[in-house]
Structure 1
Amino acid sequence: MDSSVYMAYDYPVLGAFWTMMWIFLWVLWFVLLFRIIVDIFRDDTMSGWAKTGWLVLVIALPFLGVFVYVLARGKGMGKREMEHARAQQEALDTYVRETARGAGRTSEVDELAKLSEIRARGDISDEEFRRAKEKILH
């Protein structure tokens, strides 16, 4: 057995730490890169040529492009992200309200109010009002 066999326990703890740190930094780098690309497409204030220029810079020279983009437009990234989140929340709230309302269905309270108005005008009798009220509530 002249050749040495490396086992898992031969890997030093410091080496494992450095490996995990490099993996973390690479994942962090790709997250930042893709957030910037999404921000470029999300920004409505930029023209198409400006978006193309930033995109080419970020893809052709990634480290320099990302650094320059964050310095030049970093504050706006946060504002655009907040606006996007706010718009999504408003869309969700609107959807929930419309769904809870029943999409065009009137509520029992509205129907009872209309029925009460009809009775107050004298268009229906008290007995008819009672029967219609029972139908609405059941």
Structure 2
Amino acid sequence: MSIWDFFVWFFWIYIFITCIWIFITVFVDIFRDHTLNGWGKTLWIIFLVVLPFLGAFVYLIARGRSMGERQMKQSRDAQAASAEYIRSVAAPTSPSAEIESAKKLLDSGAITQAEFDSLKTRALAS
């Protein structure tokens, strides 16, 4: 096997993986699209199964823009959910709440008076 045979083989593997990726993306988008009814989804799936390359290219041409919009909406929704989760976990606390929490730690013996004073000073500074 020469180096050129290897490059040709590598090229065809790349084309094969790219085609599979496009088909999966189109199938996922068909099921994600809420504007298509069941018959429309069925017809697109049949078209993709019978004539896969033509079906995928026609779908990308006909519905590519809405496909991108759905992808962007999903990305925005995921980012908003992530931001909401982070806000819920790392809820901003007021200085009085931080001092109260430090006081509870001091009363339970988890921290010393010097650590409490340090926490109190930091809470009041922020």
TM-score for the superposition, normalised by structure 1: 0.67
What is the match of residue 20 of structure 1? 10
- The Cα shift of 1:137 comes to 3.5
What is the match of residue 63 of structure 2? 73
1:52 to 42, 47, 58: 42
Q: Does residue 91 in structure 1 map to residue 81 in structure 2? A: yes
Alignment of 1:1-138 (within 5 A): 11-101=1-91, 107-109=93-95, 111=97, 135-138=100-103
- Separation in structure 2 between the aligned mates of residue 111 and residue 88 of structure 1, nearest angstrom: 31
The structure having more radius of gyration, on CA atoms, is 1
Q: Gaps (5+ residues) in structure 2?
A: 104-126
Q: Residue type of the partner of 1:80?
A: R
1:32-76: per-residue Cα shift (whole Å, max 9, x none)? 100001111111111111111111111221111101101111111
The structure carrying a bigger helix percent of its residues is 2
Q: How many residues align?
A: 103
Q: Residue type of the partner of 1:57?
A: F
- Separation in structure 2 between the aligned mates of residue 63 and residue 136 of structure 1, nearest angstrom: 63
- Separation in structure 2 between the aligned mates of residue 85 and residue 35 of structure 1, nearest angstrom: 15
- Separation in structure 1 between the aligned mates of residue 3 and residue 97 of structure 2, nearest angstrom: 73
Q: Residue type of the partner of 1:15?
A: D
What is the match of residue 115 of structure 1? none
Residues 110 and 57 (structure 1), Cα distance of their counterparts in 2 relative to 1, 3 Å cut: farther
The alignment's C-alpha RMSD in Å is 2.0
Q: Gaps (5+ residues) in structure 1?
A: 1-10, 113-132
- Separation in structure 1 between the aligned mates of residue 70 and residue 50 of structure 2, nearest angstrom: 24
